[in-house]
Amino acid sequence: MSDATVKLSDAAIRRQMLADFWFYFRQNRGAVVGMWVFLALVLIAVFAQVVAPHDPTAQFRDALLVPPIWQEGGKSGFLLGTDAVGRNMLSRLIYGAQYSLFIGVVVVAIALIGGIFVGLLAGFFGGWVDTVIMRVMDVILAFPSLLLALVLVAVLGPGLTNAMIAIAIVYQPHFARLTRAAVMGEKEREYVTAARVAGAGTMRLMFKTILPNCLAPLIVQATLSFSSAVLDSAALGFLGMGAQPPSSEWGTMLAEAREFILRAWWVVTLPGLAILISVLAINLMGDGLRDALDPKLKRS
Amino acid sequence: MIRFILGKLLYLVPTFVGITIIAFGFVRILPGDPVLLMAGERGISPERHAALSAQLGFDQPIWLQYLQFLGRLFHGDLGNSLVTKKPVMAEFLTLFPATVELGLVAIIIATAIGVPVGVLAAIKRGSWFDQVSMTAALVGFSMPIFWWGLLLIIFFSGILGWTPVSGRISLIYFFPDVTGFMLIDSIISGQKGAFTSALSHLILPSVVLATIPLAVIARQTRSAMLEVMGEDYVRTARAKGMPPSRVVGVHALRNAMIPVITTIGLQIGVLMAGAILTETIFSWPGIGKWMIDSISRRDYPVVQSGLLLIAGLVMLVNLLVDLTYGLINPRIRHK
């Protein structure tokens, strides 16, 4: 007989972890639905040029405020009608998906990287480094996020880039706190001591030994922040502080449509519905991720 | 308990200092000279510029300016609005009751519906009620409330014609400002129809503002109840034959309420952010709309002080929540 120990390759372990994850994720039906909707949104955003019937800024002067096709007065070619200057609603909504997903990705990336870095520093070194960093995070958290983002945008000047930076700054403390808490829980564990004894340097300990074991709560928070970023950037756009007209960001579209609220329901209803559906899909997915990644809930 | 309170208060000092630094620094990091900004489009002569700078203290070192800012702050002096020239504090105090009234009604709606729904969903876990209410809660949680407000206006004001579109009360009523709360003042005034008018103006904005807190409270109550229902003391209570209503109402609910109260307290920040959007949509004359208007008018003293006051308020409410938490749960107090 050869040796009885089973040696699993790293790849096999990873495959097993993914299979486990998928098993638990699939238990939550809402999460799976949310995932499909989200994937559809990504596809629509990526292939917007192919899917959209018209250019999002093309104005059809002979077709102002045309209602959707199923309503009386609807015109073929304008499935969801047109807005006040004759732009195709469907095309604008499709291109709007690009904005929302782009904003979500950028905001979460900035907030996540910044938060992880700051949180690792605070959790790993402790002492005054920890105190100073965490007090600064507390100060940021003391402001209502939308208000702070609004004021930051007022300082930086309205626009999409500044709105994204402002929202990322406001979200960053959540990631910092989570990372710090996870690092403080992990750093006294045996495997970290073992790595330290084996001669791993500070950087290696921080980023290669400890960080991968703190990722679960961060992934869940990242999904939550993604949906909040879509909501908050739409709110900033609605208040005139985010993406500027004529861009087809959904919040900006809503702001432009406000005056037609009682005359043309579709210009108001559809952009908001698009925001709601994408945020809902991401939140559904987030619930499923939390169930699948949280070992405490797994056992019950 | 006193040590607990003092400890919490001490912990807040650095945060408050940080808030004042951000509010103070806000005007400094703005591109441009604050004196030129105040002068506006009319321009200003170099002599007048120097005189104004000296008068406002801009020629002094920055740390001294900050200390003076703090000194004025503790005397309740927040400067004057560039647009209306009135003291910022006075403007804040006139508009604040409108926001408090809106926020209070919203949080009452959210709690009065959210807690029972959460409890019922937890007791009937997996039932259709649980599934429907939790789906609704997730939709509410994902709601862009500025759009939700517009939808409600389309339906209730546009199609049904039941509610007015904006403001706090119909213009035909006029009565003295006693409490600042329109609902109470309209009753005190004794004018026929005033209360109904105030209520019909308040209902849509408060429902819109209540939406997200309601969803959060319902979800939090459900999960807190589920956790508590699995505890040993609940099983013991059941095993000794206690009626289910008493097990749920006394043993489970009281313990489940601890995290729920924290959640309700934490909604204050959410409410303030929501008030900015809600008040803008319904032209509600509160501090949310005041802030937005001031930001777009570049009325920096107002933005600066508003930021400070709102953050201070959120901090204070969080402190109260922490203290309540310690009061109900001795384990926290003695940690």
Q: Kindly report, residue by residue over A162-198, the tens digit of the pLDDT.
A: 899 999 999 999 999 989 988 888 888 888 888 888 8
| B1-17 mean pLDDT | 81
Residue B139 has pLDDT above 50, yes or no: yes
Q: What is the mean pLDDT of chain A?
A: 85
A269 at the B interface (CB within 8 A)?
Answer: yes
- Whole-model pTM over 0.90: no
| B49-60 mean pLDDT | 73
Give the model's confidence band at A300: pLDDT under 50 very low, under 70 low, under 90 confident, else very high.
very low
Q: What is the mean pLDDT of chain B?
A: 83
Q: Which residues contact A146 (CB under 8 A, 6 or more apart)?
A: A232, A235, A236, B273, B276, B277
Residue B322 has pLDDT above 80, yes or no: no
Q: In this prediction, what percent of chain B has a pLDDT beyond 70?
A: 92
| B109-134 mean pLDDT | 92
Residue labelled with tokens 């517009």: B150
Q: What is the model's pLDDT at position A299?
A: 42
Distance from CA of A280 to the nearest CA of B (A): 5
Beta strands in B219-311 (DSSP E): none
The mean-pLDDT minimum among A104-113, A205-214, B318-327 falls in B318-327
A270 at the B interface (CB within 8 A)?
Answer: no
B247 at the A interface (CB within 8 A)?
Answer: no
B175 at the A interface (CB within 8 A)?
Answer: no
Q: In this prediction, what percent of chain A has a pLDDT beyond 90?
A: 27
B150 at the A interface (CB within 8 A)?
Answer: yes
Q: Which of residues 164-193 of A touch B (CB under 8 A)?
A: none
Tens digits of residue pLDDT in A23-54: 888 888 888 999 999 999 999 999 988 888 88
Q: What is the model's pLDDT at position A1?
A: 46
CB atoms A268 and B151 under 8 Å: yes
Q: Which residues contact B230 (CB under 8 A, 6 or more apart)?
A: A300
Is the separation of the CB atoms in B35 and B58 below 8 Å?
yes
Tens digits of residue pLDDT in B249-266: 777 888 888 788 878 887
Q: Chain B residues with CB inside 8 Å of A240's CB?
A: 296
CB atoms B154 and A262 under 8 Å: yes
CB-based contacts of B191-195 (< 8 A; 24+ apart in sequence): B194/B169
User: B154: which DSSP letter?
Assistant: I
Residue A281 has pLDDT above 90, yes or no: yes
The mean-pLDDT minimum among A41-45, A272-276, B270-274, B290-294 falls in B270-274
CB atoms A272 and B148 under 8 Å: yes
Q: Which residues contact B154 (CB under 8 A, 6 or more apart)?
A: A261, A262, A265, A268, A269
A287 at the B interface (CB within 8 A)?
Answer: yes
Residue A71 has pLDDT above 60, yes or no: yes
Residue B237 has pLDDT above 80, yes or no: yes
Interface pTM, i.e. ipTM: 0.84
Compute φ and ψ for B178, nearest 5 degrees. Answer: -95, -60
B296 at the A interface (CB within 8 A)?
Answer: yes
B135 at the A interface (CB within 8 A)?
Answer: yes
Greatest alpha-carbon pair distance for chain B in Å reads 87
CB atoms A143 and B295 under 8 Å: no
Residue labelled with tokens 């070192």: B61
Distance from CA of B139 to the nearest CA of A (A): 6
The mean-pLDDT minimum among A26-35, A128-137, B82-91, B175-184 falls in B175-184
Q: What is the model's pLDDT at position B247?
A: 82
Compute φ and ψ for B80, nearest 5 degrees. Answer: -115, 150
Q: In whole angstroms, give the CA distance from residue A253 to residue A257.
A: 6
Give the model's confidence band at B32: pLDDT under 50 very low, under 70 low, under 90 confident, else very high.
low
B82 CB-side CA count, 13 A: 21
Residue B176 has pLDDT above 80, yes or no: no
The beta-carbon neighbor of B291 closest among A147, A261, A265 is A147
Tens digits of residue pLDDT in B177-213: 777 787 787 777 777 777 888 888 889 999 999 999 9
B141 at the A interface (CB within 8 A)?
Answer: yes
The beta-carbon neighbor of B295 closest among A154, A231, A284 is A154
Give the model's confidence band at A57: pLDDT under 50 very low, under 70 low, under 90 confident, else very high.
confident
**Which amino acid is it at B136?**
A
Residue B116 has pLDDT above 70, yes or no: yes
Q: What is the model's pLDDT at position B33?
A: 63
Q: Chain B residues with CB inside 8 Å of A266's CB?
A: none
